[in-house]
Amino acid sequence: MELLQLSAVAAREAIAAGDLDPGEYAAAWQEAAARDDLNAYLWRAAEGGGEALAVERPALPPVAVKDIFCTEGVSTTAASRILAGYRPPYTATAVRRLLDAGAPILGKTNMDEFAMGSSNENSAFGPVLNPWDRERVPGGSSGGSAAAVAGGLAPWAIGTDTGGSIRQPAALCGIVGLKPTYGAISRYGMIAFASSLDQCGPLTRDVRDAALLLGLLQGRDPMDSTSVGLPEAPRLPEREDLRGLRFGVPAELARDDLEAGVREVFEATLGRIEALGGELAEVSLPSAELGISAYYVIAPAEASSNLARYDGVRYGLREGGDGDLLQMYETTRAQGFGAEVKRRIMLGTYALSSGYYDAYYGQAQRVRTRIAADFEAAFGDVDLIVTPTSPSVAFRLGEKTDDPLEMYLNDFFTVPMSLAGIPAVSIPAGLARPAGGGPELPVGFQIAGPAFAEQRLLDAAHALERAIGFDARPAAAAAEGGSDG
């Protein structure tokens, strides 16, 4: 258990100094992953079959990888039945960079199907459970990665963020989740949902671990024309105060339905910023409140195009047909895709259809441009922008599955940053009780910065994290021996 308490940064230093045997350390984490009763993993390295992912000289903690990243010879499903049994012939660049740096793969984590969801209830392999309260969701779509880290089943993990799918589950599980600037990390080998929005990023127990993992992942990749990397590799943050930094609080993102406990923690965190020497100022993001509307046109439209390739011909599931090609297409897609994926394909196809393209998709893209311009103007007055990460703490399993709009609104605070392509991080800021009562659960605090300002973001988040002193260990304890959080 002492080994599992080490941060990833501390473990790396101990391995480098010869004070920690990497084999013993990896075995301890494999044993921890084998105790998974949160449904966080879809495949674990200890089960075998990952010869192509072997690391000759481990130098870093093993990493849990969202099952949306292609891994050579290992099942990669994006949590969809339509990719059942698919074993890619290559490994995603992000995963390859971790392997080359000496980070073994611990396992592939559960997720919302094709990264479409905010609760991890859309997986074809069943929902992931929140380690703080197993009757609640961990958030999504990277819920398996977030739950694995929070529940003591992995030292760190990677996920993907399209509209908040790293930050929101990080908030609901009480860990750190970072969405880098669009293009900072290669998307090659990352199964596409919405290509202009998808971005890989870290889920970790603290900000320094996030900085270390980001440094391993970032960089330009000739296999991905949208990748540019960061101007310089991030260093581990050491900042202890916020003097000289100005934080913007956007009035337009205030919500009447923000849970009282979340609002209380958010306001208390603003007080901590001032206590650390930071300055608060109100900023205007006039178009940000339209982010959800624009996102749920743009993302489904891109998904409609990206998911057209799943037709039963090239890989994965094939059902029906009896020699009739069209029938085979229809039967395979009907049986292979889940309800939420079908909903978004239909929404996206409609938005791109003749006579509606400009009214819906074109208009949404214009809103997206306005949102990016609003952020650029705001960053002329402030260094960083802060909001809650999620309007509520983790909600109960099944609570919002019958109301897609209510589910989509979980991304209200995270979507604008995704549309603008700017970096944002969620850190745990405290605990609050749900509106309907229950155990205290984590609340996330989101900090966003200008494009490629990851170092500024990490420095500020580290200083604030130290002041908050959040203890994520209760989640790991709950995962081991109880469901009351």
Contact (CB, 8 A) for 187 and 102:
no
Within 10 Å of residue 314's Cβ, how many Cβ atoms? 9
Active site residue 108: no
Q: How far apart are CA 412 and CA 390, in angstroms?
A: 7
d(CA 220, CA 201): 15
- In 354-440, DSSP assigns E strands to 384-388, 424-432
Alpha-carbon 450 to chain mean position:
19
The two structure tokens encoding residue 40 = 């966080």
165 is catalytic: yes
Catalytic residue among 141, 186, 287, 426: 141
Catalytic-residue membership of 225: no
To the nearest 5 percent, what fractions of the chain are helix, strand and coil?
40, 15, 45
Residues with Cβ within 8 Å of residue 10, at least 6 apart in sequence? none
Q: How far is CA 227 from the centre of its chain?
A: 18
The one catalytic residue among 165, 304, 392, 418: 165
297-306 b/e (C-beta count within 10 Å ≥ 16 → b)? bbbbbbbbbb
Distance CA 22, CA 51 (A): 18
Provide the Cα torsion 206, 209, 211, 212; round to 10°: 180
Catalytic pick from 66, 108, 179, 400?
A: 66
How far is residue 55 from each of residues 23, 217, 218, measured CA to CA in Å? 11, 16, 20
- The closest of 135, 175, 133, 172 to 158, measured between CA atoms, is 175
Cβ neighbours around 23 below 10 Å, total:
10
Mind telling me the catalytic residues? 66, 141, 165
